[in-house]
Structure 1
Amino acid sequence: MSADRSDASSAVVTRSDSGWPGFWNRGGWWRAVAAVVVYLGLYLGFGWVLGRTVGGAVHRGDLFSDALSVFIAVALPVIFGSAVLLAFALSVRWLPRPLFGRQPVRGSWWMWIAPAPIVVTILLRVFGSDWGSYSGGVIATTFLAGIFIGISEELLTRGIVVTLLRRHGYREWAVAVLSSLIFALLHTSNLLSGQSLLTVLPTIGFTFGFGMMMYLTMRVTGSIIWPIVLHALTDPTTILATGGIDVSGTNTSPLLTFAGLSTFVFLAFALIAMIVIRGNAHGRAAAGEPERHTAARDAGTPVNGVTQ
């Protein structure tokens, strides 16, 4: 990984933090992995507790037949996960910045392409879904769950993981790839719920491409808020279009057929982005500072020791 780092051998931490915040402020890929593993353990553990205590209210054979079933099985775990991540962010003093602050490195004009196919895919699923097959309560609860899916998964991967990688000095193309890979590998946990490997592998491909699109959206909009919004709309519309979580579904609407091609679109654009992504937020990310739009930087002159 040393080739992907800035010229500094370790993160430049300008704050006087020590102890718990100081440990995380030094960043690094292994800290990012550790944070994700601990979060995943807590998330799965909470789901296990729910299954033991109120699992009888969940309709395993038809999860989305009842609003209470959706709330317990889908919404409650991600609400818990969001609370855990926000508590962690508060403990290391990353709220509101850097997690919800302005991005420390500016996005290029071509990155505006990234949100477009996501919005198109959401609309295809909205107009192609059989909404009449669900009750109003199930639809509302699924979208409620979507809000917290967006918060938890984006806060974890595009927030905490990206911040840890940047603070250790990785250049932005490595930040994009590593954070998207971690996001994709998170979904291997579906194996624990009984999904087959043949189902999980395509999900990993889709989530890697989707993760890259979310990273680019965050860069070009300058905020993690927009990836959260798009993610919060993507998951519930996908779930209600297919009738389940990470399944292909049986709806034969041609609109959903086109929506299914999004995996290939996301992966193709992700591969292109991996070649052309530039930038290095090291220094500003360590200080939690927003990017300074100066004539010197725009001319290619280093700003705070960072060349774009």
Structure 2
Amino acid sequence: MGERGTRAGTGANAWSRFWNRGSWWKALLAAVAYLALFLGGSRLVGLLWGADVAPNPFADARSVVVALLLPLLIGAVVLLAFVASLRWFPALFGPQPIRGRGWMWIAVVVTLVPIALRLFGTDYGAYAAGVVPLTFVVGLLVGLTEELLTRGIVVKLLRDAGHGEIAVAVVSSALFGLLHASNALGGQSPVLVLTTVLFAFGFGLMMYLVLRVTGSLIWPILIHALTDPTTFLATGGIDVAGTGQESVLNQLAGPFNIVFVVFAVIAICCIRGRVGAPGAATAPRYDGMHAAE
């Protein structure tokens, strides 16, 4: 980089210097900070417009917007602004610095199957006007925010700290699972919260494998963006079991949560690699401040 690289390094502000030095505790800090801001945004939206929101956010279009869409939109803006402030867009949305092995395509298949089953197994006519399309918009925001945070920002911070990919996979998936522990604030039972966290860890590991094998953050975002709305509409709620008479296709989709967890445990034993190791990088690696050089 020579003189130009020296000027860039010395000219970096304290904010960039802090985040461009990766570590596991900064990954944790990023996740906790986002969760706090998201919950705060949800509380603010609820205070301003939540008076008439139904207990079930999928009861009508207004409830979907106020209870789900607006808080997620705030979260998306915050995360995108954070990434922009560090100039990390090439690092996060460009080609991954390390690619996966062929067996990781199993994760793509086992996450797409329940999506397809629920897409064709859900009675969309049971919902009020506007609920279904708005729920898919919510799903897109969920996929963007949660994947940008855990498979984007967190993964980058862990890799920049020099951690091997097995640690990157486990820690990023664990943080993703722990984000769902916030459901306890909504009054869910401890057993249901723990179950949700476990299932979220398994799904998070699947998304890590999708990131590795496709080489792009876009694909985990899109698969996640379809998983959540199809699950919400199939079950009629968030992190709940289906109620009433379910279609056969939705019944077949249900056990995939267990499949995610089981496959995650197996996959952890098979994940190898480290960014920067000889032969590991198959794409450019960006480091924030010097991404454009």
Please give the per-residue CA displacement for 1:171-201, whole angstroms capped at 9, x wherever unaligned. 0011001000000000000011111112111
| Equivalent pairs, count | 273
Match of 1:47 in 2: 42
Match of 1:7 in 2: none
The yes-or-no answer on 1:20 pairing with 2:15 is yes
266, 282, 287: which is aligned to 1:291? 282
Matches within 5 A, 1:189-228: 189-228=182-221
The yes-or-no answer on 1:29 pairing with 2:24 is yes
SS in 2 for 1:49: helix
Q: State how far apart, in whole Å, the 2-side matches of 1:73 and 1:21 are.
A: 34
Q: State how far apart, in whole Å, the 2-side matches of 1:247 and 1:261 are.
A: 13
Match of 1:99 in 2: 92
1:64/1:138 contact within 8 Å kept: yes
Please give the per-residue CA displacement for 1:217-253, whole angstroms capped at 9, x wherever unaligned. 0111110000000000000000000000111121432
Q: State how far apart, in whole Å, the 2-side matches of 1:65 and 1:35 are.
A: 33
Q: Kindly state the Cα deviation for residue 136 of structure 1 after the two structures are TM-superposed.
A: 3.8
Please give the per-residue CA displacement for 1:137-183, whole angstroms capped at 9, x wherever unaligned. 00011001101000000000000000000000000011001000000
SS in 1 for 2:58: helix
Q: Kindly state the Cα deviation for residue 292 of structure 1 after the two structures are TM-superposed.
A: 4.6
Please give the per-residue CA displacement for 1:105-136, whole angstroms capped at 9, x wherever unaligned. 01111111111011100011112212111134
Q: State how far apart, in whole Å, the 2-side matches of 1:55 and 1:283 are.
A: 51
Match of 1:114 in 2: 107
Q: State how far apart, in whole Å, the 2-side matches of 1:125 and 1:88 are.
A: 34
229, 242, 255: which is aligned to 1:236? 229
1:214/1:227 contact within 8 Å kept: yes
SS in 2 for 1:280: coil
1:46/1:77 contact within 8 Å kept: yes
Please give the per-residue CA displacement for 1:85-121, whole angstroms capped at 9, x wherever unaligned. 01000111201x2110100001111111111011100
2:16/2:86 contact within 8 Å kept: yes
Which amino acid letter does the alignment assign opposite residue 204 of structure 2?
G
SS in 2 for 1:102: coil
2:60/2:129 contact within 8 Å kept: no
Instruction: List gaps (5 residues or longer) in structure 1.
Output: 1-14, 285-289, 294-308
The yes-or-no answer on 1:58 pairing with 2:53 is yes
SS in 2 for 1:229: helix
SS in 2 for 1:65: coil
The yes-or-no answer on 1:269 pairing with 2:263 is yes
Q: State, as a whole percentage, how many aligned pairs show the same letter.
A: 54
